[in-house]
Amino acid sequence: QSALTQPASVSGSPGQSITISCTGPSSAFGDYNYVSWYQQHPFKAPKLMIYDVNNRPSDVSDRFSGSKSGNTASLTISGLRAEDEAHYYCSSYTNTNTILFGGGTKVTVL
Amino acid sequence: QVQLQESGPGLVKPSETLSLTCTVSGGSINSYYWSWVRQSPGKGLEWIGYIYYSGRTNYNPSLKSRVSISIAMSKTQFSLKVNSVTTADTAVYYCARILRLGDPLDIWGQGTVVTVSS
């Protein structure tokens, strides 16, 4: 199964907004809304940031938001802060209930 | 507060079997899905598979021939075995929880490093 496609890196200045895209096959995104996003700081376990395309766990800042259009999902970080510098991974279920991850995007705060 | 903790050998020889256990504490292992994910050095996340508390499994097609996941509910543990390992199996291995099929991996262990080397 092919991984989901993300840009290798995205950068922005403090206070700005950035968007990370995630493109996948129709067998993954299709009519499903099982898209999630994870944040990973160096040498740490991934942390769930967004699930079901645009829902946030209670401990995640509302500066993080998600969306999906067709076979592309997006994560937007508003009001960028230094602590947002990390790798971000998108993930989706497929039509055979397996799980795909994107290759990861490194977010740099300039 | 549910917590997950991976354990197992940090060094495995090529062609041998990698075996890891994830211990669930602070909550029940019943009614949920339990997953393994790995991350090779400097690389992204790779889903390995998951097991339902009933024992039903689903694996990454690229690893399916070498991987098995089992569950020991009495011990609130689930385990991973990877057969015939090579250096490409060197990675940090994470265990994680899925509440229902379609849900995200919401709770993760801290990860354990496994190196395949002679």
Q: What is the pLDDT of residues B51-104, one digit of tens each?
A: 999 999 999 999 999 999 999 878 799 999 999 999 999 999 999 999 999 999
Buried b / exposed e across A9-38, counting CB within 10 Å, b at 16+?
Answer: ebebeeeeebebbbbbbebbbbebbbbbbb
Of A93, A96, A101, nearest to B46 by CB-CB distance is A101
pLDDT digits (tens, 9 = 90+) for A44-96: 999 999 999 999 999 999 999 999 998 999 999 999 999 999 999 999 999 89
- Chain A: residue nearest B110 by CA? A45
Residue contact A91–B46, C-beta within 8 A: no
CB B5 within 8 Å of CB B55: no
Q: Which residue has the tokens 């039903």?
A: B56
* Residue A26: band (very low, low, confident or very high) from pLDDT cuts 50, 70, 90: confident
pLDDT digits (tens, 9 = 90+) for B29-52: 998 999 999 999 999 999 999 999
Among candidates B102, B116, B105, B106, which has minimal Cα distance to B19? Answer: B116
CB A87 within 8 Å of CB A106: yes
- Strand A105-109 and strand B11-12: the pairing is unpaired
Q: Classify residue B8 as left (phi > 0), alpha (psi -120 to 50) or beta.
A: left
* Residue A1: band (very low, low, confident or very high) from pLDDT cuts 50, 70, 90: low
- Strand B77-82 and strand A99-101: the pairing is unpaired
Of B47, B109, B110, nearest to A99 by CB-CB distance is B47
Instruction: Provide CB contacts within 8 A for A83, sequence distance 6+.
Output: none
